[in-house]
Amino acid sequence: MTEIDLANRRFSFRRRPVPVPGDLRIAWRVALIMAMLGSSRANRASLAKLHIINDAIRSGQQDKLKTILSGTHAAVPWNLRVEPAFARAVDFVVGEKLAIWTKATGRAALQLTKTGVDAAAAVMGVEDALVEERAAVAELAKLITETGVGALLGEKVRA
């Protein structure tokens, strides 16, 4: 058996591109937020509603959420997973003045600006991008009311 002399060998390293899944790119998240706000009533949605829709789309549980919202099953709290990357995309949307902070039913909410409305329309108008996501957002954003958000989060109804 021959012994390999590694001490006299040179090693070189080359940086290779690593593909990043679409849902980890900020452009994907910003486009999704624009679609969510553009599909919501008055181009406004609470941060909780945005997180719920984002979570349903990311986890592939849109159908489960639709079933819960349809009322055919007893309302159960949604096990919400809050993503730091989604929060950074929200900050980017606000920083780019596509949306402003406001309130919806006592919760922190985002509302599209004029520029944001145009951007949301552009996102929704692209036929071959975010096809599944846009379809889910268009349906879910209309189904989830702020009262429904409270029920999904397990909030008690105030008398």
Domain range list for the chain: 22-151
- What is the token pair recorded at 154? 């397990």
Crossing angle of helices 84-95 and 26-39, rounded to 10°? 70
| Residue 82 confidence (pLDDT) | 82
* Cβ–Cβ under 8 Å, residues 50 and 90: yes
pTM of structure: 0.80
Q: What is the pLDDT of residue 151?
A: 82
In this structure, are residues 145 and 75 in contact, taking their beta carbons and an 8 Å threshold? no
Q: How far is CA 59 from CA 51, 68, 76, 79, 111, in A?
A: 12, 15, 17, 11, 25
Q: Which residues of the chain have pLDDT under 70?
A: 1-7, 22-23, 72-77, 157-159
Q: How far is CA 81 from the centre of its chain?
A: 11
Q: What is the pLDDT of residue 23?
A: 63
pLDDT value for 49:
94
Give pLDDT, residue 1.
47
In sequence order, what are the beta bridge partners of 102?
Answer: 109
Residue 158, classified by CB atoms within 10 Å of its CB into exposed (0-12), middle (13-18) or buried (19+), is: exposed
Q: What is the pLDDT of residues 41-79, one digit of tens each?
A: 999 999 999 999 999 998 888 888 888 888 766 666 678
Q: Give the C-alpha separation, 66 to 56, whole Å.
A: 10
Q: What is the reported pLDDT for 74?
A: 62
pLDDT on residue 7 = 65
